[in-house]
Amino acid sequence: MTIIRAAREDEADELAAIGIRAWESAVVGWINLDLLRANAQRAFVDFTRQRYLAIDVAERAGQVVAWAARERLDNHISDLWVEPNWQGQGLGYALLTRLETEIEAQAYETITIETHAQNIRAIEFLKRCGYAINWMTATWSPKLDREVDTVGLIKHLAVPERPVVYGEF
């Protein structure tokens, strides 16, 4: 059984390790890991230590195996990382659903998420979850100290109908 819960401060380094392993498995073959690993590792450690309150984790049998975050607590999902040997088992979907529910409860009409343009597996997963590519860009990543080609995806949420009230136009 999967448990989705808020991250704890004492889990920051464990979350960073999951993030770096998931990142490495996603970019192997099209990024020089030896060149970028130290920057990526530092970025994950800094993020998980400073932003653990914005992170939700997925736990199986008492072990944290995935995490997702909304860095600014708005409608943008900044991170979604699943331990490589746990990928394809519904953990990413469970975390994504949890964040979507949180975002929808805050009355946002859309959800956005970005991924590397060559991360076809993530793009296809997000499309299956109702996201569509909305933009492509190359942006400088200070965390990685390089330019990164990204795609932005968007999901439109159902906007509840408001009853028409007398006097409204």
pLDDT value at position 144? 67
Residue percentage of the chain with pLDDT more than 70:
92
pLDDT value at position 87? 96
Domains of the chain, residue spans: 2-156
pLDDT tens sequence across 66-112: 999 999 999 999 999 999 999 999 999 999 999 999 999 999 999 99
pLDDT tens sequence across 12-35: 999 999 999 999 999 887 777 777
Confidence tier at 168 by pLDDT (50, 70, 90) = low
Average pLDDT along the chain: 92
CB neighbour list of residue 164: distance below 8 Å, 6 or more residues apart: none
Distance CA 72, CA 157 (A): 19
Distance CA 138, CA 31 (A): 15
Confidence tier at 167 by pLDDT (50, 70, 90) = low
Distance CA 40, CA 52 (A): 17
CB distance 133 to 23 below 8 Å: no
Of 146, 129, 148, which is closest to residue 138 (Cα–Cα)?
A: 148
CATH architecture classification, 2-156: 3-Layer(aba) Sandwich (3.40)
Burial class (CB in 10 A: 0-12, 13-18, 19+), 60: middle
